[in-house]
Amino acid sequence: MNHGKSRIAQVSADGSSISFYLKVGSLHLLSSDNRADRLIEKGGVTQPHVLHAWEQVIALMQPAVVLDVGANHGEMIFPLLFRPDTVVIMFEPNIALAELLKESAREHINGSQIRVEALAVSDTTGQGTLFLDMKWSGTSSLDYKMPDARYKGEGEQHYKLQQIEKVSVDDYLVKIAAPPGPLAMKIDIEGHEPHVVAGARGALASRPFTLLVEFDPNQLQLAGLQPEAFLEQLLEIGSVFLVGQDGGFSPVSQSRDLDIRHGDLLVTSSEAVSRFAMNAGMGR
């Protein structure tokens, strides 16, 4: 596994890409996207505490399969190194971003193991529509149009509708004949996360797993879902921890433990990951 030093980044002269230390990997950037400017400003890592948690999961689990659901520019995959037998799948239904992810994957040290799929992940396989945010790619959604906000920067807020293919995790893993073994999955798709978990029931019941899940009550409600119900769904399948801004972890056992507007949850069946989270939480 890599350590923090590998995330020291250099922006290309034309601002089109960010390269990570020792050529571990790079991010090719969508120039029309305000979020690309934020990535440049932050050196390719906008949430270091979340990336640290994800990196520890990969190190502890040594997963056979890594799924990045809602890959965006790839900042949760391309700064990292993987075992030579790990299968890495990046799902990004935004076609323009998916093409850039393929460029970045070809340049990554584990590039032969990384597959980019221009698919949305949900609870079923079939057709769907993506509300494609043309101002800030990170708030494109399968369920609604996210209102404009200050963090999106300057420019007109506008959307395009893009017809997309949807797939469930269970169907996809069968389709590619995924190797058996531990599963690590990051899910960040603007309120559609419960559908992804529902479509992965088979995988979560048959493999050791850790999920890194965005939990945003506002986004879940915009998508017509109840945050409390989603938390109960997660508590039923594994141990749940809130990833703290300070790098610590807080165990979550019921809905009142999670009085937040936005955060990221670690959900795991792995004793090693649970011990890591508990120890990191006590060490804050």
- Given a cut of 70, whether residue 190 has pLDDT beyond it is yes
At residue 8 the predicted structure's pLDDT band, cuts being 50, 70 and 90, is confident
* pLDDT value of residue 22: 66
**C-alpha dihedral sign at 73, 74, 76, 79:** negative
Lowest mean pLDDT across 92-101, 204-213, 273-282: 273-282
136 inside domain: no
Mean pLDDT value across residues 62-78: 98
CB 20 within 8 A of CB 51: no
* pLDDT value of residue 227: 93
4 inside domain: no
Q: Do β-strands 65-69 and 114-117 pair in parallel, antiparallel, or remain unpaired?
A: unpaired
Q: Which residue has the tokens 């948690």?
A: 53
* pLDDT value of residue 281: 77
- Given a cut of 50, whether residue 5 has pLDDT beyond it is no
- Mean pLDDT over the full length of the chain: 93
Q: Which residue did the predictor score with more confidence, 7 or 26?
A: 26
- The DSSP secondary-structure symbol of 262 reads S
CB 108 within 8 A of CB 78: yes
188 inside domain: yes
Q: DSSP string of 50-98?
A: HHHHHHHHHHHH--SEEEEES-TT-TTTTT----TT-EEEEE---HHHH
**Secondary structure percentages of the chain, helix, strand, coil, to 5:** 35, 25, 40
182 inside domain: yes
| Neighbour-count burial for 215-226, b at 16+ CB within 10 Å, e otherwise | bbbebbebbebe
Q: Which residue has the tokens 């004949």?
A: 177
150 inside domain: no
Q: Supply angle C-alpha 231, 237, 240, rounded to 5.
A: 55
158 inside domain: no
State the CATH number of the domain containing residue 99. Answer: 3.40.50.150
Mean pLDDT value across residues 28-41: 96
Tens-place pLDDT, residues 114-139? 999 999 999 999 999 999 999 999 99
Mean pLDDT value across residues 261-270: 92
111 inside domain: yes
Mean pLDDT value across residues 269-281: 93
* pLDDT value of residue 23: 75
At residue 284 the predicted structure's pLDDT band, cuts being 50, 70 and 90, is low
Rg (CA), the chain: 18
Of 72, 120, 79, 121, give the one whose Cα is nearest residue 97. Answer: 72
- Cα 204 from Cα 268, distance rounded (Å): 10
At residue 259 the predicted structure's pLDDT band, cuts being 50, 70 and 90, is confident
| Neighbour-count burial for 196-206, b at 16+ CB within 10 Å, e otherwise | bbebbeebbee
* pLDDT value of residue 6: 54
Measure the CA dihedral 63/64/68/74, to 10°.
80
* pLDDT value of residue 246: 87
Give the domain range for residue 120. 46-125+163-282
Mean pLDDT value across residues 132-160: 97
CB 60 within 8 A of CB 212: no
* pLDDT value of residue 4: 40
CB 189 within 8 A of CB 92: no
Question: What 3-state DSSP class applies to 177?
Answer: coil
92 inside domain: yes
The count of domains in the chain is: 1
* pLDDT value of residue 283: 53
CB within 8 A of 99, min separation 6: which ones? none
CB within 8 A of 148, min separation 6: which ones? 135, 157
At residue 1 the predicted structure's pLDDT band, cuts being 50, 70 and 90, is very low
